[in-house]
Amino acid sequence: MPRQRRPINHDLYTRGGIITERDPDFCIVRLRMPAGMITPGQMKELGEIAARYGVEMVHLTTRQTMELPHVDPSVLEPLLKDLEKNGTPLGAERQEVVNITACLGTRNCKFGIIDSVALAEELDKKFFAKDLPVKVRIAISSCPNGCESERLNEIGITGIQKPIRDPGLCTGCGTCTHYCREKAIEVIDGVVVLHPTLCMECGFCILPCPFHIIQGAPPEFRITLGGHRGRHPKIGRHLVDVKTQEEVVRVVDKIIYWIYRQASTDSMLPEQLDDLEFDKFRETIVKMTGG
């Protein structure tokens, strides 16, 4: 005997974050969780909500959020109200800005250069779920280690820091060379030489200097555009380096508007960059930021 189902509000399926399963009688509910941050209290309540609506497992996604699989669509309205009340509301997954990812950054990581979580939260408030012709993923890594694979996202933001060395004070001890993963620093005839073309501006050589001779320039934000994971991975193209979080928000705002006005729905953003005159757009952004 077929099971009884309550009436389903099909209008809810127009919202991003509700995904029809392989079995069309059920759906997946994806949550909004910028930078993957959630309090212990929210985590506990989320477990109770999931159990209340018959969810047996919670899925942790690659985009630092959670999904509730195998949800009966007839319970979506009360479920979404409970999720909203818990501060873990419905997410996004269609042609829009989806959950913004970030590493822990300077709040916790010893390699961190920028506060990636704060930046993710600010970008989330301004751009999350904005309707666009294509899906846009934004990812932030606090340093060039790229733990968030930010350059494989439509918009990638990387924290960078240029090392500054005073040749007149440097003793040539070579300690910094052991921390450089790119072999961009070497000791030649007792003098430490930095090879700028090899340097990734990760700042790893700054803290280990026993005499504090190597200093760091103020942290900057490197923005890339047009990266993509998926079936045909692509590395994003370098757009611009900016000096402040406020400038990052301004540049991302310009990117989102450019995509909204210029991109089409027939292919992914990386495949459209040349047709969208990326080089001309980049010139505009560089002029705007004074880069």
- 78 and 128 part of one domain: no
CATH number at residue 126: 3.30.413.10
Per-residue confidence at 61, pLDDT binned at 50, 70, 90? Answer: very high
Which residues are CB-contacts of 266 (< 8 A; sequence separation ≥ 6)?
none
The residue from 23, 53, 85 where one domain ends is 85
The residue from 85, 120, 135 where one domain ends is 85
Task: Please count the structural domains in the chain.
Answer: 2
- 140 and 20 part of one domain: no
31: in domain: yes
The residue from 42, 60, 85 where one domain ends is 85
68: in domain: yes
| Predicted pLDDT at 8 | 75
CA-wise closest residue to 202 among 145, 255, 250, 164: 145
262: in domain: yes
* Phi, psi for residue 19 in degrees, rounded to 5: -120, 125
- 67 and 15 part of one domain: yes
- Please state the rounded mean pLDDT for residues 79-87: 97
Domain that holds residue 270: 101-161+218-289
**pLDDT exceeds cutoff 50 at 1:** no
CATH number at residue 21: 3.30.70.3340
Give dist(CA 141, CA 280) in Å, integer.
26
Compute CA distances 247 → 10, 54, 150, whole Å.
Answer: 41, 45, 18
Kind and range of the H or E run holding 239: strand 237-242
- 48 and 144 part of one domain: no
Q: What is the pLDDT of residues 116-142, one digit of tens each?
A: 999 999 999 999 999 999 999 999 999
**pLDDT exceeds cutoff 80 at 291:** no
144: in domain: yes
Q: What is the pLDDT of residues 168-215, one digit of tens each?
A: 788 888 899 999 999 999 888 888 888 999 999 999 999 888 888 888
154: in domain: yes
Which residues are CB-contacts of 50 (< 8 A; sequence separation ≥ 6)?
58, 68
- 19 and 156 part of one domain: no
Tallying the residues shown for the chain, one arrives at 291
180: in domain: no
| Predicted pLDDT at 6 | 67
Q: What is the pTM of this model?
A: 0.92
